[in-house]
Structure 1
Amino acid sequence: MSFIQKLNAAWASSDSLLMVGLDPDLTRMPDELKGKPDAIFQFCKQVIDATAPFVCGFKPQIAYFAAAGAEGQLEDLCAYLREQYPHLPIVLDAKRGDIGATATQYAQEVFGRYGADAVTVSPYLGADSVEPYLEWEDRGVIVLCRTSNPGGSDLQFLMTDGVPLYLRVADLVANKWNKTGQCGLVVGATFPNELAAVRQAVGDSLPLLVPGIGAQGGDIAATCAAGCNAQKTGMMINSSRAILYAQGAGHWTEAAASVAKQTRDDINAHR
């Protein structure tokens, strides 16, 4: 299946718009994993197994693996996801942005080495920087549009012929770059007005990766009202730290599962 086909199937089968971000911080590992050579893999694997019933996919953040020299563990983790949860999309959060031969190598890394279903990319270098990812015709290319951080406004709110830059990006992706029908946009839950503007601009078909709930404080009700499409889907609403490092009774995996289920249920109550 293509990325979009897998995502649509996951929304339906899981009855969930929740995506769990995998940001394994070695300083926050459970005591039982500290010091183990495969701690990152084991931590993420146990999070996946605990939360998989409640999600529409997983989003490994490559920086956490690369900083720890754990790219091999990321390879193993992606292989585990493909083998055990083949119905759930893997979105590799890499935010790549380069041109020509370099972008071609990055695409090979993401889709060939790690076998991800989709990747996040930056639009700043223009169409030719995105083209190498589109050559993998069944894979998703999710373009940064209105990011969840406050500093995103420094550039994304700049006006271009009367249109803010983030809406210019949304238009480019929806109407020019989406040659394979596998593109999406990153729009933060921390800016529901802009999320609504993007949804209105691109229509119902383009999926939105929406970070910013949980630790960043985005409101679930406002996010659903702004970003859902006519089918009451259309979003991968990501939560990372609030689930990975959840506090609660029982084993840490039980706490992660409990928060994931509650987040899934809260999203469903508002869409």
Structure 2
Amino acid sequence: MTRAELFSQIQKKSSFLCVGLDADLAKIPAHLKSEPDPIFSFCREIIEETADYAVAYKPNIAFFEALGPTGWETLQKVNEIIPREIFTIADAKRGDIGNTSKLYAKAFFEQMDFDSVTVAPYMGADSVTPFLEFEDKWVILLALTSNAGSMDFQLIKDENGKPLYQSVLEKSQKWGSPENLMYVVGATRGELIAEVRKLVPDHFFLVPGVGAQGGSLADVAKYGMNSSCGLMVNSSRGIIYASDGKDFAKAARQEAKKLQEEMKSLLEKYL
């Protein structure tokens, strides 16, 4: 998917919502567990009910690969039923030496046909650039994450007082462009989103941490939105586990709609 196609969908739906498919077998509604493929059934109903409001879906690969070979088959089936106009993210957080990264890229881009994959930058250029060699595919690079442990390394300052995450942003812009490189920027670091935007004014951000983790959607838009929106805000638990009953998909739709309505107002305010 191209940047223009993604922005067109944002405009059409008045939404920059990404729905995270953190499909935990222990948390899905009990009535689904008698299904031949419970995780697929769960994801299918979530997608069917939220596709009107979502511009992206982000399967968390760990929840699928933990199930072994059948989990990979389920992941493939889930990706295939996502409408083609909706952006897909393999939340795999890969990143290894060059030849290994190239095979990870082939797995997610060629075999499974995801639009993007999350990548860790710690090993540097040769671990990231193989993912950037695929036309109309995207790297979503971890930059400033929303977990508590992010402060262990990402905010460490060098001798010039520059935090590590800023070095990641500055260096990685030389590897890709706003047409194939996005950044993970956590919503719970609201006070820093403006600083990130100054360093990468044109790139899209994938923003976790809104909803269950307490991040402010209004702050994310205020400090992070650019002229082409430049944001995909992810909500996982707050949408997909809105109910644990037979109405789980309808409840997910209601939560997605609430976020979309707020996003519509923010788009009208800032674009």
Shorter-normalised TM range = over 0.9
Give the Cα separation in 2 of the matches to 1:28 and 1:248: 8
Structure 1 counterpart SS, 2:212: helix
Alignment correspondent of 1:121: 119
Which of 186, 189, 212 matches 2:187?
Answer: 189
Alignment correspondent of 1:234: 230
Moved over 6 A (4+): none
Structure 1 counterpart SS, 2:51: helix
Give the Cα separation in 2 of the matches to 1:107 and 1:254: 35
Give the Cα separation in 2 of the matches to 1:249 and 1:66: 25
Deviation at 1:78, TM superposition (A): 0.9
Which of 86, 94, 99 matches 1:101?
Answer: 99
Check the 8 A contact 1:22/1:60 in 2, yes or no: yes
Give the Cα separation in 2 of the matches to 1:14 and 1:223: 19
Give the Cα separation in 2 of the matches to 1:170 and 1:7: 22
Deviation at 1:237, TM superposition (A): 0.2
Alignment correspondent of 2:32: 33
Which of 203, 208, 222 matches 1:206?
Answer: 203
User: Unaligned 5+ residue runs, structure 2?
Assistant: none
Alignment correspondent of 2:78: 77
Give the Cα separation in 2 of the matches to 1:264 and 1:177: 33
Q: RMSD across aligned C-alpha pairs, in angstroms?
A: 1.6
- Partner amino acid, structure 2, of 1:267: M
Give the Cα separation in 1 of the matches to 2:192 and 2:118: 19
Structure 2 counterpart SS, 1:222: helix
Where do residues 1-271 of structure 1 align in structure 2 (5 Å cutoff)?
A: 2-69=1-68, 70-81=71-82, 85-160=83-158, 161-174=160-173, 176-179=174-177, 181-203=179-201, 205-231=202-228, 233-247=229-243, 251-271=247-267
Check the 8 A contact 1:22/1:240 in 2, yes or no: yes
Give the Cα separation in 2 of the matches to 1:66 and 1:242: 23
Deviation at 1:12, TM superposition (A): 1.6
Check the 8 A contact 2:14/2:263 in 1, yes or no: no
**Segment drifting more, 130-139 vs 237-246:** 130-139
Check the 8 A contact 2:188/2:216 in 1, yes or no: yes
Give the Cα separation in 2 of the matches to 1:32 and 1:249: 8
Structure 2 counterpart SS, 1:238: strand
Query: 1:3/1:32 Cα in 2 relative to 1: closer, same or farther (>3 Å)?
Result: farther
Give the Cα separation in 2 of the matches to 1:135 and 1:190: 32
Structure 1 counterpart SS, 2:85: coil
| TM-score, length basis structure 1 | 0.93
Check the 8 A contact 1:243/1:256 in 2, yes or no: yes
Query: 1:3/1:92 Cα in 2 relative to 1: closer, same or farther (>3 Å)?
Result: farther
1:189-214 Cα deviation digits (max 9, x unpaired)? 000111111111111x2000000011
| TM-score, length basis structure 2 | 0.93
Check the 8 A contact 1:137/1:180 in 2, yes or no: no
Check the 8 A contact 2:207/2:231 in 1, yes or no: yes
- Partner amino acid, structure 2, of 1:67: A
Give the Cα separation in 1 of the matches to 2:245 and 2:106: 42
Check the 8 A contact 2:29/2:245 in 1, yes or no: no
Deviation at 1:162, TM superposition (A): 2.5
Deviation at 1:106, TM superposition (A): 0.6
- Partner amino acid, structure 2, of 1:163: K
Give the Cα separation in 2 of the matches to 1:28 and 1:94: 21
Deviation at 1:249, TM superposition (A): 9.4
Give the Cα separation in 2 of the matches to 1:140 and 1:180: 10
- Partner amino acid, structure 1, of 2:219: A
Matched positions, count: 264
